[in-house]
Amino acid sequence: MADELRFDGRVVLVTGAGGGLGREYALAFASKGASVVVNDLGGDAKGGGKNSAAADKVVEEIRSQGGRAVADYHSVEDGEKVVQTALDAFGRIDILINNAGILRDRSFGRISDLDWDLVHRVHLRGAFKVTRAAWPHMRKQKYGKIIMTSSTSGVLGNFGQANYSAAKLGLVGLSNTLSIEGSKYNIHCNSIVPLASSRLTQGIIPPDVMDVVKPEYVAPYVVYLCHESCPETGGVFQLAGGWAAELRWHQAAGVVLFGKGGQVPTPEMVRDNWDKVTDWSGPAKEFSNSGNFMAELLGKLQEAK
Ligand code: NAD
């Protein structure tokens, strides 16, 4: 296949690759010629315990199919050590899939400091630590592809997941900024919002839907997003069961309010114009770039004065 997407010579680090979505990414990249670091702490779904078996099993699977892979058992909280495994085994790092995750669901009134901290440490701080360790290598080689794993719970909220949703939307913010800072070094960063059957979604996704949203349907999208031919950066992509769509922010019509002589508006003026703040009757305006937003805002303010 002449136009096959190949990753020969590329080194991919997948965190949390001992099962679920991460395992599928690791297998998919390896089948396309990449050398893969299979990171997994091997704990339970709530972040307790550790075990080398999960990562070892995936490495074994890749090797038995003729692929190249090594295991790494560090927590993503030890980002430097995780990335060092890639450097020691393969001498570089080209692609980083921040995927490791746990859940400690509690309704907000019952959430403990530990529930909040553990989830943030694995998802947001873990992705920060691994990505910061990989960043200088990507900068130096002027090449890098990074994926942050968000969630619909982050984008939309979800009952019982205050800790998780805050961390997951945090990852989108991190991804957006890295896509801006990485652009001059040819480092691309995108977020994904997946849905897939795994131990994290057992009991949440109805049993008859589990087969429809197998994680292997998500992997090809992640593989393409990380190929050198893919220009995307700063995007957020919803992926589930073969379905994929980009997600974006939009802005309502809005209004500029000034009191007499350009003074600060009163709260009553705000109340009386609230329907304009929330006016979605016109075409939705895209809201995707803080530079553009600033320029547009200044234009609107000048026009209104
Ligand atoms: P999973 O439990 O099968 O995979 C997560 C993996 O991360 C596990 O193998 C686990 O051992 C590993 N891990 C946990 N803490 C770690 C740490 N500190 N260091 C290294 N590895 C660690 O679950 P999954 O559904 O495949 O989830 C993968 C990612 O996708 C997670 O970030 C999850 O939040 C996200 N996600 C999943 C879904 C879904 O529908 N499955 C939806 C939205 C987001």
Which residues are catalytically annotated? Answer: 164
Ligand 1 site, residue 154, Cβ cutoff 6 A: no
Task: Looking at the CA of residue 153, tell me the nearest atom of ligand 1.
Answer: 43
Q: Which of 99, 168, 171 to mutate to test the pocket of ligand 1 (most atoms within 8 A of CB)?
A: 99
As a whole-number percent, the residues of the chain with pLDDT over 90 amount to 88
- Specify the pTM: 0.96
Tell me, letter by letter, the H, E, C secondary structure of 40-72. CCCCCCCCCCCCCHHHHHHHHHHHHCCCEEEEE
Judged against a pLDDT cut of 90, whether residue 81 lies above it is answered with yes
Cα 40 to middle of ligand 1, angstroms: 10
> Residue 24: its pLDDT value, please?
98
Cα of 43 to ligand 1 centre, how many Å?
A: 11
Give the pLDDT confidence score for residue 289 in this predicted structure.
Answer: 76
| Distance from Cα 101 to the centre of ligand 1, integer Å | 4
CB-ligand 1 contact for 199 (6 Å cutoff): yes
pLDDT of res. 287: 78
* pLDDT digits 0-9 by tens, 146-186: 999 999 999 999 999 999 999 999 999 999 999 999 999 99
Residue 284 CA to ligand 1 centre (angstroms): 34
With a cut of 70, say whether residue 34 has pLDDT above it: yes
Residue 139, amino acid: R
In angstroms, the CA 114 to CA 279 distance is 41
Tokens of 100: 């490791």
Ligand 1 centroid distance, CA of 146 (Å):
16
pLDDT digits (tens, 9 = 90+) for 104-123: 999 999 999 999 999 999 99
The finding on whether 102 has its CB within 6 A of some atom of ligand 1 is: yes
So what's the pLDDT on residue 303? Answer: 80
- Nearest atom of ligand 1 to the alpha carbon of 123: 32
Q: Of all helices (H) and strands (E), which one includes residue 83?
A: helix 79-90
* Mutation pick for ligand 1 pocket among 13, 15, 21 (CB with most ligand atoms within 8 Å): 21
Contact 160, 112 (CB under 8 A): no
The reply to whether ligand 1 has any atom less than 6 angstroms from the CB of 149 is yes
User: Do residues 19 and 56 touch, judged by C-beta distance below 8 A?
Assistant: no
ipTM summary value: 0.99
Chain mean position to CA 268: 41
- CB within 8 Å of 276: residues ≥ 6 apart: 253, 254, 255
